[in-house]
Each structure stands twice: as C-alpha cells, then as structure tokens.
Amino acid sequence: MTQPVSPPRGSADKVPQVSEKTGPRVAFARADVRTLSLLGVLAALILIGGITKPDEFLDTRNLQLVLTQASVIGVVTVGMTFVIISGGIDLSVGAIVALASVWATTVATQEYGFAGILFTAVIVGVGCGLVNGVLIAYGGMVPFIATLAMLASARGFALQITDGNTQVVTVPSVLDLGERDAYVLGIPPLVLVFAAVTVIGWLVLNRTTFGRRTVAVGGNAEAARLAGIDVRRQRLYLYLLSGLCCGIAAFLLIVLSGSGQNTNGNLYELDAIAAAIIGGTLLSGGRGTIVGSVLGVLIFMTITNIFALNNLQTDVQQIAKGAIIVAAVLVQRRTASTT
C-alpha cells in the first residue's frame, strides 16, 4: 500500500497543461473559430456569386429567394441538430415531411381552411415523432433502425393517401402566404418562421434545462442517468421535437409549392444531417450548435443558388456539394486544432 504520506491538507493537486486564465478563452475561442470558419466559407461563396453573376446574385430578390428556399430544410435541420446532439439520429424527417404535407392537403383537410392545414401538418409531425420517441426511449430500439422503419412506413402511408397524385392547394389564405404580397418589410413569412425557429432553438439549447439535458444525454448517457436525469423521457421529447419541426416544415413546403405530394421531402434526412455536421455537430453526440447548423443550411442553399445562376448542371452541383462538405469539415478541424 502507498505509505500514508501526502502533502499537507489543502494543497493542490498538480494542474496539467491548461493554465487558469487561458482555459475558458480557449474553450470559447474554439466555438467562435468554428462559427467564424463557417462564416468564412459563406463569405467566400458570396464573393464567388458576386463575381460570377453580380447582377443576379447581389440582389434583394435573390437574398429573399435563397432564404425562402432554405426555410423548409432549415426548420428540419434545427430539430435534427437537437437529435444528433443527444447522440441519436432521425432518418425519417423527409418521410414525415411528406406524410404531413399530403395529409394536410387532402380534400377533406382543405375544407377546414388555413387552420386545418396548419394543425394537421403539425399534429402529423408530432405524432410521427411520438412514435419514434416511444420506440427509441421506451422500446429500446436503436434510433437508426426505428427512424428507418418510420421512413419506410411514412412514405408508404403518404403514397397511399395520394395514390401518386399531386394534391393542389386551393385554400387562398395558404397560397397567399407564399406570395410576394405577404412579405413583411421585405421579408417572406417563410423566412420569418425559419428565423423564429432558429432563435427559439438557440435559446432552448443554450438557456434551458432541456438544452442542458440534451447535451448531457448525448455527451454521456450513463453519466446523465447516474446524475439523476430522466434519460428516456428526454429522448422521447427530442424525437417529438424533431417531429414538430418536420410538421412546421411540411406546412412551409405546402405554402411554398402550393401542393402536397408523396415525393416531398426527398432526401431531407441526408441534407439535414450534412448541414448539422458541417455546422460542427458531433455525429457521436454531446456537442453542436444551432448557429452552425443554420450556417450549414445557408451554405448549401447558396451553393445551389450560385450553380443555378451560372447554369451549371446537376452533375457538377453534386460533385461540388460533396467537395464542400469535405472542405468545410477539414477547415474546421484545422482551425480548431491550431487554436
């Protein structure tokens, strides 16, 4: 046994490496650097857009366009970010958006007008999230599998509802929301919703116990459990949240496209995951930011926009998208490790 020897009581254990003063700054600086590097990527893209197509790109209408197109996937990504931070994954987001959008645009639903469409879209989203959450939190299913199953069945259900047909929206108040006349101080209502979801998401993640618990569950579920957190209930709420975001996104998509179709939300799960990862969210959980994810979405949308404005075709767009994902992650790693 170690002989009973020790320093006098109260003296400190040796402190390795991090000095007291630089510690927190380093921690904060890292988060800032990550965000800054994303802003740098975005700035570079804006520069490219501005140089190649100055008239079309640097235009209020184009800004409105990019933000509007980003709104639907952006709302989905906020929900996805929470789920990934908690160490989970939600592969069913695109399918939930599809199901919610077709359910909310059936002839029967449309009879109830604006409120009916909005309510149905949100309820269907939350309902799917509830099923996901119960299966994962209380059924002990792996998130990947549970949400994969939801992906398949929600898509099937959406097809069954539509029979493959496009359901055109005939409710004027819904359609009007997507028109230029509805802009508030030049901001499209869809973008306002996106902004609101982003701000609320940021506040919830950073300023509430819900956000803390999410991070704790993702960082170390066992430690969170032993610290007295109800890990299962937290997981349930997280998938509910993701479903809610999908429901909102479905409504935005209905407004945007003026219709519901079972092919809606195609590959949203991959776009949302990619945006979150680019934004610095760890796929293994425990770390991530709403700001980063939203920047990730905006980066993707800006790329799409620049490519379309320059009349480049799908093949080139896809190659560039892949390259940007790799580049953004590498840049972040480099900047984060040299600080």
Binders of other proteins in range 234-253 (CB under 8 A): 253
Which residues share a beta bridge with 168?
259
> Which tokens belong to 95?
């399918």
**Stretch near other proteins under the rule CB under 8 A, chosen from 110-118, 135-143, 226-234, 239-247:** 226-234
Per-residue contact track with other proteins, 266 to 295, x per CB under 8 A? x-------------------xx--------
Figure out which of the listed residues 49, 129, 133, 178 binds other proteins, where binding follows CB under 8 A.
Answer: 178
The SS3 assignment for 168 reads strand
Q: Is the dihedral of CA 174, 175, 181, 184 positive or negative?
A: positive
Figure out which of the listed residues 208, 270, 322, 333 binds other proteins, where binding follows CB under 8 A.
Answer: 208
Considering only residues 111 to 130 of the shown chain, the ones binding other proteins according to CB under 8 A are none
Q: For other proteins, how many residues bind (rule: CB under 8 A)? A: 84
Judged by beta carbon, residue 121 or residue 146, the one nearer other proteins is 121
**Minimum CB–partner distance for residue 274 and other proteins (Å):** 17
**Minimum CB–partner distance for residue 279 and other proteins (Å):** 16
Figure out which of the listed residues 119, 161, 219, 324 binds other proteins, where binding follows CB under 8 A.
Answer: 219
- Does position 133 interact with other proteins (CB under 8 A)? The reply is no
Judged by beta carbon, residue 105 or residue 146, the one nearer other proteins is 105
In angstroms, what CA-CA distances link 291 with 150, 198, 327? 28, 8, 19
**Minimum CB–partner distance for residue 194 and other proteins (Å):** 15
Decide if 173 contacts 167 (C-beta within 8 A): no
Figure out which of the listed residues 44, 47, 145, 227 binds other proteins, where binding follows CB under 8 A.
Answer: 227
Considering only residues 29 to 68 of the shown chain, the ones binding other proteins according to CB under 8 A are 53, 55-56, 59, 61-62, 65, 68
Judged by beta carbon, residue 18 or residue 326, the one nearer other proteins is 18
Decide if 99 contacts 155 (C-beta within 8 A): yes
Figure out which of the listed residues 13, 107, 184, 185 binds other proteins, where binding follows CB under 8 A.
Answer: 13
Geometric angle at alpha carbon 216, from 214 and 222, rounded to 5°: 120
Figure out which of the listed residues 230, 321, 324, 335 binds other proteins, where binding follows CB under 8 A.
Answer: 230
Figure out which of the listed residues 180, 186, 327, 329 binds other proteins, where binding follows CB under 8 A.
Answer: 180
* Secondary structure (DSSP) of 227-277: TT--HHHHHHHHHHHHHHHHHHHHHHHHHHHSEE-TTTTTTHHHHHHHHHH
Considering only residues 252 to 271 of the shown chain, the ones binding other proteins according to CB under 8 A are 253, 256-259, 261-266
Using CA atoms, how far apart are residues 77 and 273, in angstroms rounded to an integer? Answer: 7
Using CA atoms, how far apart are residues 248 and 193, in angstroms rounded to an integer? Answer: 9
**If we measure between CA atoms, which residue out of 190, 199, 335, 161 comes closest to residue 250?**
190
**Minimum CB–partner distance for residue 337 and other proteins (Å):** 9
The b-or-e profile of 9-35 (16+ CB within 10 A means b, else e) is eeeeeeeeeeeeeeeeeeeeebeebbb
Figure out which of the listed residues 48, 130, 308, 320 binds other proteins, where binding follows CB under 8 A.
Answer: 308
| Residues contacting residue 150 through CB under 8 Å, at least 6 positions apart | 91, 92, 95, 96, 128, 131, 132
Judged by beta carbon, residue 146 or residue 224, the one nearer other proteins is 224
